[in-house]
A and B are shown apart, each in its own frame.
Chain A
Amino acid sequence: MRASYERRSWLARHVIRHEPALRAWLRRRQIPGLEVDDIVQETYARLASVESTDNILNVKNYMFQTAYSIMASHLRKSRIVHFKAIDDLNTLNVTPDEPTPEDQAIHRQELGRLLDVVVALPEKVRQVFMMRRINDLSQREVAQELSIPESTVEMRMRRANFLITKSLSEDGNRPPDASMGTERLTRIRPDRDPKANRTPN
């Protein structure tokens, strides 16, 4: 099921900022046959469907623990004991969230990162993104403004969303993952993507 609006905002406000750290943490304990991306997606699935978020006081900790339990259950299923992976069940001492006083600084930092990411978008993608998000035009209005088909606008917006997600979810200092970087970052034209018919268009 799709997460409710409230839940999506909660994820946007409190969860995604910890994803780079979670990925870094997961990468250090990689399990053969289980990708970091798989665990991250499952983690989000749990966070999206947990009954209530009211009792989650330390979001970062909760997120890491969720990821850890997902990893552990895959491990149990695979019946392989990876000492390295589970050795630090107890050393999962994640630094707690620091809520209000730091909020502003975090916000500033996040907006600064978003600015960097938007600046780095390919020109046409950035143009559409800015018209949608800064000038607050609808997809149709952007299409009219630029005299291009609406489907093109959607495609560019999809690209923008993909690149922004990628950049914000990874540590800024880390070069793009070689295993996916080249293949994925060049896939700019979904028209020629063999999987295109599996995506909405």
Chain B
Amino acid sequence: MTQKQTAHQIEDIAVAWATRLDNGPLPDEEARALDLWLDSDIRCVGALARAEAYIEASKKAVALDAAIIDDLAARHKAKAGLSRRDVYKYGAAAAGLSALGIASYATMAAAGTYETRKGEMKVVTLSDGSSISLNTDTKVRVAFSAKRRLVHLFGGEAMFTVAKDVGRPFVVSAKSAFVTAMATSFTVGDLPDRPLTVVVSEGVLQIDRADGKGQPVKLDANTRVRFEPTAAMPVLKIEKISTVQVDDDMAWRSGRISFKGETLDEATRAFARYSDIELIIDDPGLRGEKIAGVFQNNDPVGFAETVALSFDLRIDIQENRIYLSRKAA
């Protein structure tokens, strides 16, 4: 050894090799060069293992939402220009980037039942490369066969990202419908007191009614379908929505909840899905107030505090309840 390499030099080279190895096997000549380098110093072995471990860890980014990253990055840049009011308005998202509550982990599965508790979120990677993101309080059962990839949704909300497999359709069965897809991504929501809802974010899919009646309906990207229950049979209500709306609908995937003009009443009900902490607003007039902002969905306390600040309310936080009321004049 002519001159001892510094740890910094080693790290640079290790990251370069790790980046290259991440693209696939090396050509023989490069592989030999790598071996020589690894043999030159024990630290090289460690530095490469370390760099590759961090690359492996960074692949968890697949669970992150690109739209949200772009949004935060833009805001990150403009952060200095945000007014105090904006900070309140954007709640957790703008106040501190790391405050974002993201709970997800991936598991490999071909068959089995997966569920999330209140406030929990989970990403399940299936044997065919498809994945299911389970929102709070959701249960699915995966039953793949040679002919089709069947997933039952037993309540809750889940996003399906379907890997292409010609000849083996991906079918989600929920309450009153079968949703069939080849390669696409969509969300099915079966929430209490709400109509069954399907949102298509990518690709094309087909919806068949579970009772076998009526024609199958084909849907493409940026479409939302609601099964409005009527006396005899559900009626499909189809509407086109914007990409931004689709993204807002998916905000839960990164632990966020997004409001754009919803009433406080609607917002507190949305929070109730994610935790057992009850938000109580006594004043009916107050319940009708409209709000906008992005919040962390597992933090009803933070939400209530932001609301109290914005509307100048009295807040009373108890163990499982938060009361919001107008300040006595």
Give A residues with C-beta under 8 Å from B: 1-3, 7-9, 11-13, 15-16, 35, 37-38, 40-49, 103-105, 107-108, 110-116, 118-120, 123, 126, 129-130, 133-136, 138-139, 154, 157-158, 160-162, 164-165, 168-169, 172, 180, 184, 190, 195, 198-201
Count of A-B contacts judged by CB separation below 8 Å: 201
Alpha-carbon separation in the docked complex, A15 to B50 (Å): 9
**Shortest Cβ distance from B274 into chain A, in angstroms?**
13
Contacts of B53 in A (CB 8 A): 8, 11-12, 15-16, 44
Contacts of A112 in B (CB 8 A): 98-102
Contacts of A38 in B (CB 8 A): 7, 43
- Do A46 and B46 touch across chains, with their CB atoms under 8 A apart? yes
CB of B311 within 8 A of chain A? Answer: no
CB of B48 within 8 A of chain A? Answer: yes
The 7 residue pairs across chains A and B that have the minimum distance between CB atoms? A45-B46, A37-B7, A44-B46, A11-B53, A48-B49, A12-B56, A41-B43
Contacts of B51 in A (CB 8 A): 161, 165
- Do B76 and A169 touch across chains, with their CB atoms under 8 A apart? no
- Do B7 and A48 touch across chains, with their CB atoms under 8 A apart? no
Listed by A's residue number, 21 A-B pairs whose Cβ atoms lie within 8 Å are A8-B52, A16-B53, A40-B50, A41-B43, A41-B44, A42-B46, A44-B49, A45-B47, A47-B49, A48-B49, A111-B63, A111-B103, A112-B99, A114-B64, A115-B97, A115-B102, A133-B58, A133-B59, A139-B23, A165-B50, A195-B9
B 96-126 binary contact with A (CB < 8 Å = 1; else 0): 0111111111000000000000001000000
Interface of B is mostly: helix
CB of B314 within 8 A of chain A? Answer: no
CB of B210 within 8 A of chain A? Answer: no
User: If A2-B38, A108-B102, A133-B62 touch, does A41 touch B50 (CB 8 Å cutoff)?
Assistant: yes
**Shortest Cβ distance from B125 into chain A, in angstroms?**
12
Contacts of A107 in B (CB 8 A): 103-105
Interface of A is mostly: helix
Contacts of B69 in A (CB 8 A): 115, 118-119, 126, 130, 134
Alpha-carbon separation in the docked complex, A161 to B9 (Å): 15
Contacts of A120 in B (CB 8 A): 76
